[in-house]
Structures are given as structure tokens and as C-alpha cells.
Amino acid sequence: MAVGVFDSGLGGLTVLDAVSKRLPDVPFVYLGDNKHAPYGVRDAEDVYTLTCAATERLWDAGCDLVILACNTASAAALRRMQESWIPRDKRVLGVFVPLIEALTERQWGDNSPPREVAVQHVALFATPATVRSRAFQRELAFRAIGVDVEAQACGGLVDAIEEGDMILAEALVRSHVDALKRKMPTPQAAILGCTHYPLMQEIFQDALGPEVAVYSQANLVAESLADYLDRHPNMKGPGADSMFLTTGDPKRVSDHATQFLRRRIQFEAA
């Protein structure tokens, strides 16, 4: 009864870690498209094609439900996939919805008109592709009015995290926060709009200051997935084994993933 988790690289492991702890009896198949990472610098058509191919691979592994633990894929590909591509017996979910539910304090099934919410000034830190898509702002507008969102494209940050260069990653975080604050000096909340960024959450918080509420996705996605599977138990696929798959070099990806999560992770070729 496996569930698929997909990311362009290693960032989705932060989501996998959280959902595995929340749902210890569910086998998860993780697929990283490391061969083509990072997605954040690709155009929308590229991201769509690669995301569809990865999703099909997870369906082949027995995962009828796939979580796009990649904000770029969720932003650039998910809506198009849901509208015209996904078969009726499969589901693909993204990582924006749980975040927006938490920010607006209303459930996704609540279809009442948009209304004012407590948070009025939001900083969004994301990849260049996610920022270009404006997907977060579009989805937020269905639920809330009067929210000012200032987006900061965090170029280079994913690469630094994937390579394990935390000194460079910290410098980039502080530089991007400084750039954001020049546009929005006093944000009330900050969205870490990439699943790599939770590894740098303490640095984001320190750079933003203690008065800014920082939202990251892993635990929010885990709770949302648990609720979804309670309501849709039939979406647990026929797969029985947990595994880690990569389109890249399994040894290299395994070594980086082990450093990334600080426990041994063994990938195999997708």
C-alpha cells in the first residue's frame, strides 16, 4: 500500500522524513530526478514533461497516490496535470495546499468566498521557477484577500544545499533575506517555498528576526497526507516495499542523501 514522494533532487527527503514518522505503517517510494536537477532554473514545459515522467515511474512502482514534494513541480506542472493528464484512478497532490491552509486557517474544502486573514504581509522564499509561476499567489487568492506577498527568488541556494556547502548556503540565505527586506521591511510571516529550505530554517529565522513566523512544509504536508488517507484509504497503491529511486548516479546520490539527512540512505537506479 505504497505512496510515492517525488522531488527533483534531495529536498523532498525533508517531506519523506516527516510523512514516514507520521505514517510509520505506510511504505513510501521516493524518486529523485537528480539527473535533471535543479528544476528551479528550467522553464514550465520542461518541468511539466519531467514531472509527468517521474509520476509515471512511481505509478509503475505501485503508488496510486503521488506527492509532489517539489514546489517547482507543484507550481509549474500540477494544475495542468490535474486538468488534462492524470487518470481517474490515480491522484497527484502538491505541497502548496497544506501551507495555504495553515497560513489562512481554513480547510481546502471550505469553498466560501475569500476573506481577510490575520497575516497581511508575507515573504515568500522560493526557486526562480516557483516565483515566476506566481502559483502561490494564485492559490492564496482563492482563500484570502488583502494579503501582500513579496517573493524572493533564491538563486543558488538549492545547489549549495545539494552539494552540502552549508557555509555558502548560509551566506545565500542571509543575502536573500536582506534583498527581501529591502522590498518588504517588516513581513509578518515567511514561507519557505522549497522543500530544501527547512534544512536552513534556523538561519532564515535568525536573519528575519524572532517576530516573523516562519512556515515550512514537511510537518504540514505530513498531517495533511494523514488526513487525506483517512478520507481516501483506497488511494493507497498496491506497492508493498519502501525504496529510494534516482535518475542520477545511485552511489553519488546515496552519499549526498546520507549527508543531507544524517542517516544512511541507499538509492537504486530508477
- 145 and 192 fall within a common domain: yes
CA separation for the pair 253, 155 (Å, rounded): 22
- 144 and 165 fall within a common domain: yes
- 247 and 144 fall within a common domain: no
Residue 194 catalytic? yes
Q: Which of 52, 63, 70, 154 is labelled catalytic?
A: 70
- 105 and 189 fall within a common domain: yes
Which of residues 195, 215, 235 is at a domain's end?
215
CA separation for the pair 156, 166 (Å, rounded): 12
Transcribe 216-263 into DSSP letters. Answer: -SHHHHHHHHHHHHHH-GGGS-S----EEEESS-HHHHHHHHHHHHTS
Closest alpha carbon to 203 in 157, 171, 181, 179:
171
Tell the burial category of 46 from Cβ atoms under 10 Å away from its Cβ (0-12, 13-18, 19+): middle
CA separation for the pair 220, 150 (Å, rounded): 22
Residues composing the chain: 270
Closest alpha carbon to 28 in 13, 40, 48, 10:
13
- 128 and 202 fall within a common domain: yes
pTM above 0.85, yes or no: yes
Q: Which of 52, 63, 154, 194 is labelled catalytic?
A: 194
Tell the burial category of 264 from Cβ atoms under 10 Å away from its Cβ (0-12, 13-18, 19+): exposed
Closest alpha carbon to 81 in 109, 107, 111, 54:
54
Q: What burial letters (b/e) apply to 163-195, b meaning 16+ CB within 10 Å? A: eeeeeebbebbebbbeebbeebeebbbbbbbbb
DSSP state letter for 73:
H
- 56 and 107 fall within a common domain: no
CA separation for the pair 233, 167 (Å, rounded): 43
Q: Which three cell numbers stand for residue 30?
A: 521516493
- 51 and 140 fall within a common domain: no
- 89 and 47 fall within a common domain: yes
* Residues with Cβ within 8 Å of residue 117, at least 6 apart in sequence: 103, 104, 105, 143, 144, 146, 147
Residue 63 catalytic? no
Q: Is the dihedral of CA 158, 161, 163, 165 positive or negative?
A: positive
CA separation for the pair 210, 138 (Å, rounded): 28
CA separation for the pair 173, 165 (Å, rounded): 12
Tens of pLDDT along the chain (270 residues) come to 799 999 999 999 999 999 999 999 999 999 999 999 989 889 999 999 999 999 999 999 999 999 999 999 999 999 999 999 999 999 999 988 888 888 888 765 666 788 888 899 999 999 999 999 998 998 898 889 999 999 999 999 999 988 889 999 999 999 999 999 999 999 999 999 998 999 899 999 999 999 999 998 888 899 999 999 999 988 888 888 999 999 999 999 999 899 888 889 999 999
- Structural domain harbouring 204: 97-215
- 138 and 159 fall within a common domain: yes
For 4, the enclosing helix (H) or strand (E) is strand 3-7
- 222 and 88 fall within a common domain: yes
Specify the number of domains making up the chain: 2
Transcribe 91-120 into DSSP letters. Answer: EEE-SHHHHHHHHHT--TT--SPPEE-S--
- 189 and 244 fall within a common domain: no
Give the model confidence (pLDDT) of 207-262 as tens digits: 999 999 999 888 889 999 999 999 998 888 888 899 999 999 999 999 989 988 88
- 205 and 108 fall within a common domain: yes
Task: Provide the CATH number for the domain around residue 73.
Answer: 3.40.50.1860
